[in-house]
Each structure stands twice: as structure tokens, then as C-alpha cells.
Structure 1
Amino acid sequence: MTDTLGYGLEKRRQGNLEILAGRETFRDEFRRMLQSVSANGHTFEECKEVLKKNIWLDPGFKDFYAYCKEHDIPVVIISSGMAPLIRAVLSNLIGDEESAKIEIVANDAIVQPDGSWEITYRHPSSGFGHDKSQAILPYRALPHPPTTFFFGDGVSDMSAARHADVLFVKKKPGADNDLAAYCTREGIPHILFEDFHRALGVVSQVVEGRLSVQDALALGTA
């Protein structure tokens, strides 16, 4: 939204680089990004409709989701966005019934009667605003922890990068690849993937015991 409805791509990109360099927190920079959208007069409902018209499912996601359902693997959306917007987009893409089956762990929003709005963070004291590791660590603490897969693509996913068993990082040709840069800099093992068709090939092998977590990470690319 920031690129088209807010202060634009160039300033948003500079903000991401400041986050990546550790000079700004994601919480503060992302708030400024969203404030630029609201300050330009775009209501929350307008933003919802714009997102519904301009977001498409990642290639292969339906097959990936079907595989997860077949093998009783919970699919959880862990996002630094705002839950009402995410739910609206998801329902538009896969229908209300299927959307309702997917848990969304995200931030929220306060919407005023005049349509103005602002984000409310899940973890306001954290520099991430939403510390995504807090959605993963409870699974790791179970007596018999399941294998956790995490899919991310940007600076908002830095808080989760160290905590999943298998981290998939979206490779975006000609676009921002900040999470990949962060993981490479910090020495965090990860698998680059272009779409969920490719990711499913790796996930299915791990789930079915044909590939260990260590060997999966050693692939480097799905």
C-alpha cells in the first residue's frame, strides 16, 4: 500500500534498508509507512478494497494448502500486517469457508468513525511490533515438538528467521530480497524458493521422512 497509496516506493525502500542496517526498528518505520497512507486520505475500507483487487495467490499455494490439509499440517499466517485486511484478502482469494480454517496471527487496527485509522501492534514494546518468534517458540517448547516450516520474504520476518526448523525465503527477481540478505549476513540457514510449487517438493520430502531437516537446509534452493 505504501508504494501506491502512501509516500511511495523510493522512501519505503530506504526505510527497509534502514531496518536491515539496524538503524531503525521495523515497528517505528512500518508505522510511518502506514501513516503516510492514512495521511493521504485513504480510508481503511478503501485500503481493503485496493488490496483485494491487487493481491493474487502465490503460484502453487492451493496445491501446497491441499497437501497440508491432507497430512493434518496446520497452516498459520503470521504477519506484520493487520488482521482485518489479511482476512478480507484471504477470503477473496480462497473463499470465506476455507479462509475461516486458517489462523491469522497479526497486528490489528483502530478505525475512527471518519475512516481514518492506525495500526495497533501485537507486541508494542518490541522493536518488531509483532515479534513473530512468539508464534513459533510455543511449538518448540512442546514435549514432542513438530517440525516447523516458516515462509518469509522481507524485513518483517527477521524476528522469526532463527526460530523455525526450516526457513524458506522468497526469491524475488529484480525486487527486494532483504530477508535473504539478512539471513546470509547473520549465517542463518535457509532455502530460497520462487513459488509454492517448488517449496512443496521439499516440504513433502521432509514430512514423509525422505529428507532430513539438515539435508533440506543444505539444498539452499527449492
Structure 2
Amino acid sequence: MSDWTLLCDFDGTISVEDTTDTLLERFGKPGWEKLEDDWKAGRIGSRECMAGQVALLDMSRAELDAHLVERAIDPGFAEFVAYAKAHGMPIEILSDGLDHAIHFILRHYDFDYLPVTANRLEQVGEREWRLGFPNASATCRAKSGTCKCAAAASTQGPRKRVLMIGDGASDYCVAESADFVFAKGKLVDYCRAKNIPHASIRDFAEALALLPALVSGKLVAATRAAAAPLPNAVSA
């Protein structure tokens, strides 16, 4: 059995789209775009951004769930999970998204047994919502609602190795401390800039193809060898 633990982002990684973005585009009142712009410009953290945006959602529970039924996950995720289970590699989902949305979508695809750490979506009126942050940290570098580094710390130990699978800014911190990264989107550029051992993937089919080499140790060894500086040339 493998000693790897797999920590996986949800929105844009397991799910095809960013679920929160699709909700805001469909049910968001005016003003959520300004919060998004402020977050992208670095004027506010993702926790402040998402709290403000969720407060601008105008939807009933029935409308929310009807929307979530339409959300798709990566078609290769099921086979990826099956391989991980067969080789004793636990999968944990770390997300700065909405817990209800994640649990609903996972349940729809029969993955509701996977542990999830995420922000808590709370209904406070017929069409009013707020976001709770049970996994926040005052020291979170990304100012996220869910501090993925704090959550990931509990999985790391002398006999455990961590693979991070993600695509965005909320994954940067974990990527730095993980033993290896499967990176999509902005996370690819970050890993390259920070010289973090990683493999670039487009989907879970590509991630699955890399797992045997990860388990055997060949992938990590090959990546380190490729990143090693060339020896100084010896003059004749």
C-alpha cells in the first residue's frame, strides 16, 4: 500500500467549472463583480470577497439545488478515485468554496464519502445566504476562508507523503509544503516560478496516468533530476 495522501481542490479541479462563479453569474445581485475585481487586484482577501459575494446571492434552496444538479465533474475523476482506493491512498478535498455545493455535487456522483474541508454556506432567509468560516486562520497567507495550509498540516507526518492537486491561488501555500503537485491553471505557473516539484495536468485522465510513476517513486525522482542544476563545465 502507498504512503501518499492526496489533497484535492474542488472548483475547477474536480468540478469542470467554478461552482461559486456559476451561482454568482446566475443569482448574484449587482456588486459581486466589484468584489471579484478587488480580490483579483489584491485589495481584499478571498475570505472578505466571498463573504460579500455570498451575501449578494438571491436564490431559494430549491433554485440552488436545481442549479447544482446541472454541474459536471471531470469525467476521469471516478477512475482516479478507484485507483487511489485500490492502492491505499486516501483522498481529502480542501476547498475555499461552498460546503453545501460540494457535498451536493459529490453526492450526485456517489462520492459523498470523501472528506471535505470547506466554507460553510448558511441560509438566513427565504432567499438570503451568508458564509461561515470554520476553517479560517488569522495567519493564513492567502487570507482565505479555508486555510488549506492549516488543514493540510494534519495530514503530514514522518510516514506520510502529500500530493496536492489544484489549479489556483488558494492552493499555492499547500503546494509549497507538499511532496509533489499535480497542477492546473495558475498553479502551473506558480510551481514553475517557485521551483516546486510538479507535473502539469489538464484533467484527471492525465493525473491517473501519472499515479503509477508517483507510487513507484519514478515521477518524483525524474522531476528532481530535471530540475537539478547542470554541473559546472570543466575547462580543458
Q: Does residue 32 in structure 1 map to residue 52 in structure 2?
A: yes
Query: What letter is aligned with 2:47?
Result: R
User: Partner of 1:58 in structure 2?
Assistant: 74
Quick one: structure 1 residues 204 and 33, their matched pair in 2 at CA, closer, same or farther if it must change by over 3 Å? farther
Distance 2:26 2:96 in 1: 19
User: Partner of 2:152 in structure 1?
Assistant: 136
Quick one: structure 1 residues 190 and 8, their matched pair in 2 at CA, closer, same or farther if it must change by over 3 Å? farther
User: Partner of 2:16 in structure 1?
Assistant: none
Distance 1:10 1:169 in 2: 27
Q: Does residue 72 in structure 1 map to residue 88 in structure 2?
A: yes
Once the two structures are superposed, residues 154-182 of structure 1 have per-residue CA deviations (whole angstroms, 9 ceiling, x without a partner) of 22323322122111122xxxxxx333344
Q: Show the 5 A alignment for 1:45-194.
A: 45-53=62-70, 55-93=71-109, 95=110, 98-100=111-113, 102-121=114-133, 122-123=135-136, 125=138, 126=140, 127-140=143-156, 142-144=157-159, 146-170=160-184, 177-194=185-202
Quick one: structure 1 residues 131 and 200, their matched pair in 2 at CA, closer, same or farther if it must change by over 3 Å? same
> Between Structure 1 and Structure 2, whose CA radius of gyration is higher?
2
- 1:13 Cα offset (Å): 5.9
- 1:56 Cα offset (Å): 1.2
Distance 1:202 1:42 in 2: 41
Distance 1:219 1:34 in 2: 44
Query: What letter is aligned with 2:166?
Result: G
Query: What letter is aligned with 2:124?
Result: Q
State the superposition RMSD in angstroms. Answer: 2.7
Distance 1:190 1:105 in 2: 23
Quick one: structure 1 residues 32 and 218, their matched pair in 2 at CA, closer, same or farther if it must change by over 3 Å? farther
Q: Does residue 5 in structure 1 map to residue 27 in structure 2?
A: yes
Once the two structures are superposed, residues 107-147 of structure 1 have per-residue CA deviations (whole angstroms, 9 ceiling, x without a partner) of 1122124241111112153411211012222232x232x22
Distance 2:119 2:80 in 1: 25
- 1:198 Cα offset (Å): 0.8
Contact 1:81 1:106 in 2 (8 A): yes
User: Partner of 2:60 in structure 1?
Assistant: 43
Q: Which runs of 5+ in 2 are unaligned?
A: 1-22, 228-236
Query: What letter is aligned with 1:52?
Result: V
Contact 2:197 2:220 in 1 (8 A): no
Instruction: State the SS of the aligned residue for 2:84.
Output: helix
- 1:105 Cα offset (Å): 1.2
Query: What letter is aligned with 1:196?
Result: F
Distance 2:86 2:104 in 1: 25
Query: What letter is aligned with 2:203?
Result: D
- 1:33 Cα offset (Å): 2.8
Normalising to structure 2: TM-score of the pair?
0.73
Distance 1:23 1:181 in 2: 22
Aligned sequence identity (%) = 27
Quick one: structure 1 residues 92 and 5, their matched pair in 2 at CA, closer, same or farther if it must change by over 3 Å? same
Normalising to structure 1: TM-score of the pair?
0.77
Q: Which has the higher contact order (CA 8 A, sep 6+)?
A: 2
User: Partner of 1:173 in structure 2?
Assistant: none
Q: Which runs of 5+ in 1 are unaligned?
A: 171-176
